[in-house]
Amino acid sequence: MTKAWINRILAAIVFFAMSNVHATQTFQRGDYAFTVASTPDWVQPRSVAATWDPQAPGLAGERWRYWLVDFQADRRAGVRVRYYDMAYEAVTSELAGDAAKFETDFFPEFQRLTFYEVSVRREGVWQDHLDPKRVTMARRETSFEQDMTTGAISALLVLDDIRAGDVVRVRYGIEGENPVLAGLDDERASFATTSVMLDRSMRILFDKDAKIAIRRLDSAPEPVEKKSEGLHELQLSVHGIAAFHDEGVYPVWYWRVPQLVVSENRTWADVAAWARTLYPPYKTLPPDLEQRIVGWKRLPSVDDRISAALRAVQEEVRYFGTEIGENSHRPAEPAEAWTKRYGDCKDKARLLAAILDRLGIEAYPAIVLATHTKGVADLPPAASAFDHVIVQVKLAGESIWLDPTATQQRGLIRKLDRLDFGVALPVASGTHDLVNVSAPTAIDRVSGVERYTPAADGKIVLDVETRYAGNAAEQLRRSLRVHNKDELDRRYADFYRKRYGDVEIKTPVEIRELDAEDSVVIHSSYALVSAWEHNTSSSRVIDMYADLIAERVGLPKTMVRTAPLAIAHPADVEQTVEMQFPTGWHWLGKDEKKTIENAFVHYEKDVHVSGNIVRNIQHYTSREDALDIKEANSHIQRLRELNDALNQRMAFAQSEPDDQKQRRQRLENALRNIMDKQQDDNHAPAHH
């Protein structure tokens, strides 16, 4: 018997032993606990391949490999138990430290974490590494920086002596589900990751009579359904999965990797009915808020009343979410949110809907999927399919969609309808299906003018004025509330220093916020000390770049696409550069008109001279928010042309005095006559 076969037999014996020796034990870590136990009877353990299949991706050149990724879930009798099995390998020593650390999150308020196995295979032999003393638990709150606390606990396991080539296997389970979801959740598994996978499997158990809804995203493989006594089972196993390459710049609604999403069969009306239980009629509102509402009722139009209420909730009630247990989906009473002056999306949406109701305006919270917008329609109906709450306002059959978590929105209320969530599920009686959220009407509009004026001392005075409107103004206002004036001056001056070198600030940044127009104007001026490049003793060159447009037409990191490409939309950007050249100089360029367009973008460039000023006017507009794979690669070529056109090199030369120009022309004419005579002599017939 060969050594390899002996190692395989030993590995099988060790695996069988490790799978069954752990009696259930509970280990406390401060306020939190986890258990160690044997594998549950309902689980069907998978085996880890002894060697990597030479026909599968990942045999050579990989840095990290997953030998096995298995997910199983038991949803029978209303129970939620999930089982995970991962075997992975750091192929290089640089990643061995990552392989030695394992981390998973759970919610101790309604979930229990259990470890079934932690083992390491080295040279074909498995060794037990499940040491409860090496498990630490902490409330890390990774979302705290996003003003949210969820109550999640991180369990961290650090292993000793992990080397490149070791296969680390961790099997664990999480039992329990947030009761606020009332069982209206789903199960999901991705069938691709940024590393290769040798074996990927999924198994879900339902009650025998359960009706199952299955959604395959991005060409996920088809599962197999089986029915036996007391059991309705769904299984899927895939062998040899290549690594997913992240191409970047995806449309927000696009599902990037193949996913299988499974749940009990239900309708969106079922989910809407569940949501209505979380948003009962509000009780009372605080006296100070009622007094504000009395004042808002006196405003001349319904739009003004909506705008005043929205501004109060957006600006006076800060965003912070305490999303622990039922609070993850059940909003606070509007009076509580107003009194505390903070709340998350659901708290602020319910508060705004309550205020609008007191103003006699029909309004409802509406749940959406902000991370994938209209992609929620690709999922089976489930309460867990949503992650954000906005407000639907109904006016004479028209819907206005408002986001009470947004800030620094200005202008007319109907022009604020720039939310592009695609679809929403209003929390209103009679809701039976997803409804369309109208596309944005406010354009991301930016217009900038840069005026360059050479001075007698050799410097160039640069005067810059940029106007932002629509969503661009909203984003800028938020930035202005964060950065102080000195920081803005440095940031803007450094921008031109990177382009032109030494820069002196002549006029610090001046900001004008025009709320009625929903626009912000920024003005500043600088002295460019050494911006000229000297081509010759009598010529000068300066490079100029349409940076405002460049921000919206950047090339993706992957130039050959296999997925849809997102476009910043709706955008309307114009940038004008004016270069005034001094008396005695002339522009060496030529007037130019250029157009680059397709069904998705339109770009125009107009360069011309007028008197002693050269103007370079560039205008860009978007037409769609995304394009499919068939059109992506040709569009990238248009983007390359467009990016090349954004750069403009301006060259100027000193004009000659008239007498010097006449002498040069006489000399050139005389030289030409001599050359012509010499050429005639060379071609004259020979005399004999």
The 10s digit of each residue's pLDDT in 260-277 is: 999 999 999 999 999 999
Amino acid letter, residue 89: E
**Confidence (pLDDT) at 386:** 95
**How far, rounded to the nearest angstrom, does the alpha carbon of residue 291 sit from its chain's CA centroid?**
41
Q: Chain-wide mean pLDDT for the chain? A: 89
Q: How far apart are the first and last CA of the chain?
A: 108
Amino acid letter, residue 411: G
The stretch 195-207 carries a mean pLDDT of 97
Rounded (10°) CA dihedral 633, 635, 640, 645:
170
Give pLDDT tens digits for 587-610. Answer: 999 999 999 999 999 999 999 999
Q: Is the pLDDT of residue 39 over 90?
A: yes
Of 49, 268, 254, 277, nearest to 167 (Cα)? 49
Of 350, 315, 312, nearest to 330 (Cα)? 350
CA dist., res. 470 & res. 518, Å (int): 6
Higher-confidence residue of 444 and 12: namely 444
Give the number of other CB atoms < 10 A from CB of residue 159: 19
- Residue recorded with tokens 């002498």: 663
Detail the DSSP E strand segments found in 547-642.
565-566, 571-580, 585-587, 592-597, 601-610, 613-622, 626-627
Q: What is the pTM of this model?
A: 0.86
The stretch 541-546 carries a mean pLDDT of 92
The stretch 207-218 carries a mean pLDDT of 94
DSSP 470: T
Rg (CA), the chain: 34
The stretch 11-39 carries a mean pLDDT of 74
The stretch 39-61 carries a mean pLDDT of 96
CA dist., res. 494 & res. 588, Å (int): 30
Amino acid letter, residue 518: D
Q: Is the pLDDT of residue 43 over 80?
A: yes
Q: Is the pLDDT of residue 506 over 80?
A: yes
